[in-house]
Amino acid sequence: MSAFLEARSPTYGHWRLRVQAVALALILAGAPLRQADSRPLRLVALGDSLSAGLGLPPGQAFPDRLQASLRAKGWDVDVINAGVSGDTARDGLARYDWAVPPGADALIVEFGANDMLRGLPPEATKKALSAILDRARAARLAVLIAGMRAAPNLGADYGRDFDSIYLALAKAYDAELYPFFLEGVAADPKLNQKDGLHPNADGVDVIVDRMLPSVEALLRRVKP
């Protein structure tokens, strides 16, 4: 039919070529272009209370605010909250199979705060995170690692060993890396709840704004 119309109307053929050129330009530019009838991307935020949204009103947790920001930028994506307060990296590994649903496209791994606060050996944290990344790799999930930093009172040696976990894993697994989940928020009373550990709603928005470019890079890794 299109061949018949092109033969009868040169303007139709010219219009069709322009549409194809625009679509190709968007793809090459990395724009979040998806077919109108395709399902949304499924991005899972697997983590602890920082992902779960401890102490925050409904709809204000990190996954909720991230989904809203991504959609505002044109991404057709559902962000699934798989955060559980109090979880260590080992806890996250133990529940991976039921926390990350079949059909997920990408994964944010956010663990380490509770490991660090409990003084767990950095090598144990790294081992658990590595096992999580092994499972994600087997499922062909694009992964972003959200890092954590050790508190200064744990000592220089502990801090060096703990802080190095995330970059090493990102390199080993070719994963996106956001080095410090609480960047720009940690220790700021205006952006944290009264416990001084968990971000308030304003703090979550700062985290989302800062992490958004890394999350978009993650979603561009998702294969159709």
Known catalytic residues?
A: 49, 195, 198
d(CA 75, CA 70): 5
Helix (H) or strand (E) holding 79: strand 77-83
Residue 56 identity: L
Cα 70 from chain centroid?
11
C-beta separation of 48 from 85 below 8 A: yes
DSSP type of residue 88: -
CA atoms within 13 A on the CB side of 76: 9
Residues 6+ apart with CB under 8 A from 157: none
**Rg for the chain, CA atoms, rounded:** 21
Return the closest-CA partner of residue 202 out of 56, 27, 14.
56
d(CA 48, CA 89): 9
C-beta separation of 209 from 203 below 8 A: no
